[in-house]
Amino acid sequence: MSLDQPPRLTVRAEVWPVAGSFIIARGARTEVTVVVAEITQTLGDGRTVAGRGECVPYARYNETVAQVMGELESLGEAVARGLDPQALQTRLPAGAARNALDCALLDLEAKRSGRPVWSALGLAVPRPVVTAQTLSLEAPEIMEEKARALARLPLLKIKVGGENPVAQVAAVRRGAPSPRLIVDANESWDPATLREILMAMADLGVDLIEQPVPAGQDAALAGLKQIVPLCADESCHVAEDIKDLAPYYSHVNIKLDKTGGLTGALALAEAAESAAMGVMVGCMLATSLAMAPALLLAPRADFVDLDGPLLLARDRDPGLSYEGTTLYPPPPALWG
């Protein structure tokens, strides 16, 4: 039997069209650019295997496609020498680039060994979960119409802005009286606005409010009676953030592009649980390849928001399987 050949890292950018447009408080998007890290290796038994990971460079965190691709390409020699996920944690900062490579390394080992990532990491067996369906920010009458078409779903997530958020949520509630509601302000409120409208959000049956105030202003939430639970998103990236956020939020939104991959995401989940905080597992707007690793966090999450592929005009093949908003574990050919 021959020896295994060194793994080879390739990096590419891909553009995926959005179904219509996706609008949040920071702007609108009609397409999304993702970066894919792929590691291929020919094994001594003659098999050639490949591990993949996908990330979304995010301008909000001062990331560009070129910068992320450069960070990944700089580690090509380290990958060839056997870089593993634990060593990677000190080679790149938390962020999109580390996410793509962390997930590619985990996927490669699963393909090499035939042992799923969840099993290798001692995690729960992946099972179908219900994900939120996101409604982007639009005029209240449009949001009401779109909500009416989704009224039978169990969980909706509403993107709102700094103007008329109560009217937007009320419109969705008129269109969809039954679903649980997550409201995502994407940092667009000031603390005074939150205090003024929190009771209205409670009266509308909102279950969770994501990142109501700008990151860095979290201490302004001190003493606020959370009649609607608050979830840190842009404020929370890694496990070390929990100690500063636990006094002000009941939940954290864990996204692999913030934590720098599944390895960092698991550490963040453990830190949140140790601080008695609830977990939401979320995503950037991306394909099924980005969602698949995050699904391994779903068993410990109070809220799952992994609907990125549902917002695209097309997805990977094979991709994740959705029945309505019930999301099924990934096929091995996709990831893990």
Catalytic residue of the set 111, 146, 157, 159: 159
Catalytic residue of the set 111, 146, 157, 255: 255
The CA distance from 60 to 26, in Å, is 9
**Residue 173: C-alpha distances to residues 127, 156, 206 (Å):** 30, 10, 9
Taking a C-beta distance cutoff of 8 angstroms, is the pair 172, 158 a contact? yes
279 pairs with which residues across the strands?
A: 252
Half-sphere exposure of 164 (CA within 13 A, CB side): 11
Torsion sign over Cα 235, 240, 245, 251 = positive
225 Cβ neighbours under 8 A, 6+ residues apart: none
177 Cβ neighbours under 8 A, 6+ residues apart: 151
Active-site residue, 159 included: yes
Which residue, among 324, 237, 330, 233, has the nearest Cα to 291 in the 3D structure? 330
The set of catalytic residues is: 159, 255
